């Protein structure tokens, strides 16, 4: 396929957006998407709340949706935002957890405005080498690069780790300086998916019986901020796993025992610091699943996808708006 610059698609990179967010004490939402309904809900929520937004796709999402279709969906997202009345949409198309130089290059060549190279499972020096190579290519096209240092618990696409290894603050200056990356994803206790902590790591609320997870390592975040003042920090694995969705899913044929996420109060605190990008995927999956399960429980005879995907899209939009306004604080920042 012919190379295309994100600028031709009306997208922006993360540079100015992050600088503003760090200064302003808020974070930019980074929502994963795989389907048209997710994309529409993200754009509607961003336009209504006047928020900049990062639409991100994993390697798996590229495979699911097809890279060419995604490029047109991103272009469509910008045009749709304008159609909804936003004069100057600030939309980033970002590769989430890029696993090789080749994947990052392919995304840059196909209109992405930002890429993540996830070398977090590599030894420190190899992570630097790979990240530096991606930065050199990306910066030629004014594409911004997110790197990762420290390993999150759980599964990160094809990068897996049995336990969480917090980012070492003493490594961040060398890493950022040698790689030239534009932002850094760190590990302070978040993880991917809907089961972020084992029940034995949590306490239980005696009234509700719900699990209360342990706090994030804010001391590590503070130490990193001190080493790299003003440098954009990213948090992955930041879904809160809303218990109302878990309940709806479990009451309508689903089975998500002891699903638990990061409390929103912890994320609000992080968003006010140097954390300027917060990744949310699982919560949108839960919103969609809860809405679809509830719909089918009430309407067993229906089979037109628009009938059940419509309410799912509406629920995701509600969720995205809630995150933007009540958690990240990125509303009214266009
Ligand atoms: O960090 C991983 C994201 O939630 C993407 O997940 O690889 O299943 O698309 P995925
Ligand atoms: P969640 O699974 O917590 O939504 O994290 C998503 C993420 O970090 C995508 O990169
Ligand atoms: Zn992630």
pLDDT at 197 over 50: yes
The residue whose CB lies within 8 Å of the most ligand 1 atoms, and thus the one to mutate among 34, 56, 57, 61, is 61
pLDDT at 316 over 50: yes
Residue-wise pLDDT tens digits, 118-140? 999 999 999 999 999 999 999 99
pLDDT at 193 over 90: yes
pLDDT at 216 over 80: yes
The predicted structure's pLDDT at residue 163: 56
**Measured distance CA(35)–CA(55) in Å, rounded:** 12
Residue with tokens 């922006």: 12
The predicted structure's pLDDT at residue 133: 99
Index of the ligand 2 atom closest to the CA of residue 285: 4
Give me the chain's average pLDDT, please: 95
d(CA 287, ligand 2 centre) in Å: 14
Q: What are residue 272's phi and psi, to 5 degrees?
A: -80, -10
Structure tokens at 32: 């994963």
pLDDT at 329 over 90: yes
**Measured distance CA(188)–CA(278) in Å, rounded:** 13
d(CA 254, ligand 3 centre) in Å: 25
Structure tokens at 199: 């029940």
Ligand 1 site residues, Cβ closer than 6 angstroms:
32, 58, 60-61, 96-97, 156-157, 192, 281
Under DSSP, the state recorded for 159 is E
Residue with tokens 């990008």: 277
Which pLDDT band, with edges at 50, 70 and 90, does 201 fall under?
Answer: confident
Residue-wise pLDDT tens digits, 230-254? 999 999 999 999 999 999 999 999 9
pLDDT at 159 over 80: no
> For the chain, where are the E strands, in sequence order?
28-32, 53-57, 91-98, 114-117, 144-149, 154-156, 159-161, 183-186, 203-204, 211-212, 233-235, 275-280
The predicted structure's pLDDT at residue 95: 98
**Using CA positions, which residue lies closest to atom 8 of ligand 1?**
60
**Measured distance CA(135)–CA(109) in Å, rounded:** 14
Which CATH architecture group holds 8-325? Alpha-Beta Barrel (3.20)
- DSSP string over 96-142: EEE-SHHHHHHHHHBT-SEEEE--TTS-HHHHHHHHHHHHHHHHHTT
d(CA 5, ligand 2 centre) in Å: 27
Which pLDDT band, with edges at 50, 70 and 90, does 210 fall under?
Answer: confident
CB of 279 sitting under 6 A from ligand 2: yes
d(CA 58, ligand 3 centre) in Å: 9
Which pLDDT band, with edges at 50, 70 and 90, does 158 fall under?
Answer: very low
The predicted structure's pLDDT at residue 209: 87
The residue whose CB lies within 8 Å of the most ligand 1 atoms, and thus the one to mutate among 29, 31, 32, is 32
The predicted structure's pLDDT at residue 200: 86
Instruction: Kindly report the pTM of this predicted structure.
Output: 0.96
User: Distance between terminal CA atoms of the chain?
Assistant: 33
Per the CB < 8 A criterion, the answer to whether 258 and 199 are in contact is yes
Q: Is the torsion defined by CA of 6, 62, 21, 130 positive or negative?
A: negative
Under DSSP, the state recorded for 29 is E
Is 304 annotated as catalytic?
no
CB of 94 sitting under 6 A from ligand 2: no
Residue with tokens 């809160």: 240
Q: Is the torsion defined by CA of 156, 158, 162, 168 positive or negative?
A: negative
Index of the ligand 1 atom closest to the CA of residue 59: 7
Domain boundaries, the chain: 8-325
For residue 267, the ligand closest to its alpha carbon is 2
The predicted structure's pLDDT at residue 164: 58
Per the CB < 8 A criterion, the answer to whether 212 and 202 are in contact is yes
Q: How many CB atoms lie within 10 A of CB 199?
A: 13
**Using CA positions, which residue lies closest to atom 3 of ligand 2?**
237
Q: How many CB atoms lie within 10 A of CB 279?
A: 25
**Measured distance CA(238)–CA(242) in Å, rounded:** 12
The predicted structure's pLDDT at residue 155: 43
For residue 287, the ligand closest to its alpha carbon is 2
């Amino acid at each position: 396929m012919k190379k295309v610059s994100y600028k031709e698609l009306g997208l922006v990179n993360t540079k100015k957006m992050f600088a503003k967010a760090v200064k302003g004490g808020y974070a930019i939402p980074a929502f994963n998407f795989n389907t048209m309904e997710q994309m529409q809900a993200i754009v509607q929520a961003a336009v209504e709340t006047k928020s900049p937004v990062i639409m991100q796709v994993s390697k798996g999402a590229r495979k699911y949706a097809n890279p060419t279709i995604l490029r047109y969906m991103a272009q469509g997202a910008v045009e749709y935002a304008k159609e909804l009345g936003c004069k100057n949409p600030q939309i980033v198309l970002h590769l989430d957890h890029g696993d090789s130089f080749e994947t990052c290059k392919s995304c840059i060549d196909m209109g992405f405005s930002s890429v993540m190279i996830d070398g977090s499972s590599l030894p420190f020096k190899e992570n630097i080498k790979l990240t530096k190579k991606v930065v050199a290519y990306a910066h030629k096209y004014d594409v911004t690069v997110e790197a990762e240092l420290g390993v999150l618990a759980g599964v990160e696409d094809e990068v897996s780790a049995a336990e969480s290894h917090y980012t070492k603050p003493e490594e961040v200056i060398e890493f950022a300086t040698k790689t030239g990356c534009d932002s850094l994803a760190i590990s302070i206790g978040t993880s991917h998916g809907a089961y972020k902590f084992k029940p034995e790591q949590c306490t239980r609320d005696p009234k509700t019986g719900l699990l209360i997870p342990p706090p994030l390592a804010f001391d590590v975040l503070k130490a990193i901020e001190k080493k790299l003042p003003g440098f954009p920090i990213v948090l992955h694995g930041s879904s809160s796993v809303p218990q109302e969705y878990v309940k709806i899913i479990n009451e309508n044929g689903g089975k998500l025992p002891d699903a638990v996420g990061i409390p929103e109060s912890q994320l609000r605190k992080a968003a006010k610091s140097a954390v300027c990008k917060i990744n949310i995927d699982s919560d949108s999956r839960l919103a969609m699943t809860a809405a679809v399960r509830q719909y089918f429980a009430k309407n067993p005879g229906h089979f037109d996808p628009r009938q059940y995907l419509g309410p799912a899209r509406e629920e995701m939009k509600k969720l995205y708006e809630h995150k933007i306004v009540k958690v990240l604080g990125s509303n009214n920042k266009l």
